[in-house]
C-alpha cells in the first residue's frame, strides 16, 4: 500500500469491553498498550466505507477467534514520538505501532495520548424483525 501518510485513519479493533467506555464514548489507554511482542496491531482504513471497515474487523475477529465489540480510530499524525507506524502485511492493510519504550509507565503515557485522540465506534447491531 505504500508509506503511511499523516492523514490516514488507523483502526484498532477492540475485542474486550475493558478497552473502552461505551457510555462515555471513549477509548481507554489499554486499547493501545503493546502486546508482549512490543507491537500494537492496527489497520489502515482510509478510503473504506463504514461497512467495509466493520467487515475487515469481523475478518480479524474470526482470525483471532474473538468477538468484535468496537473499534478505535485515530489519525496517523496523532501517534506520538517515539512511536512509528510500520506497514506489516499480510493481512492486507495491517500495520503495527512499534518502537515502544520498555518502561510500562512510559507505554501507558503514550497509550493515553493516543486514546485521547481516538474516536470510539461501537459495533452496530443488526435489527432482526421477529416473525409474527
pLDDT at 102: 96
Continuous segment of H or E residues that includes residue 60: helix 50-64
Query: What's the pTM value of the predicted model, to 2 decimals?
Result: 0.92
Average pLDDT, the chain: 94
Tens of pLDDT, residues 70-118: 999 999 999 999 999 999 998 999 999 999 999 999 999 999 999 999 9
Q: For the chain, which residues make up each domain, given as ranges?
A: 9-122
pLDDT at 125: 81
Residues 20, 101: contact at Cβ < 8 Å?
A: no
Q: Quick one: what percent of the chain has pLDDT higher than 70?
A: 95
Look at residue 131 and tell me whether its pLDDT is greater than 60: no
* Grid cell for residue 62: 474470526
Phi, psi dihedrals of residue 99, rounded to the nearest 5°: 70, 35
Amino acid at each position: 500500500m505504500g508509506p503511511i501518510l499523516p492523514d490516514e485513519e488507523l483502526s484498532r479493533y477492540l475485542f474486550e469491553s475493558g478497552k473502552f467506555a461505551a457510555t462515555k464514548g471513549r477509548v481507554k489507554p489499554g486499547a493501545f498498550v503493546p502486546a508482549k511482542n512490543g507491537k500494537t496491531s492496527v489497520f489502515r482504513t482510509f478510503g473504506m466505507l463504514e461497512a467495509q471497515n466493520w467487515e475487515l474487523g469481523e475478518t480479524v475477529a474470526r482470525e483471532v477467534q474473538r468477538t468484535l465489540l468496537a473499534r478505535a480510530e485515530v489519525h496517523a499524525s496523532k501517534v506520538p514520538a517515539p512511536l512509528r507506524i510500520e506497514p506489516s502485511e499480510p493481512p492486507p492493510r495491517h500495520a503495527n505501532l512499534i518502537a515502544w519504550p520498555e518502561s510500562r509507565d512510559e507505554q501507558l503515557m503514550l497509550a493515553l495520548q493516543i486514546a485521547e485522540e481516538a474516536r470510539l465506534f461501537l459495533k452496530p447491531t443488526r435489527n432482526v424483525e421477529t416473525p409474527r
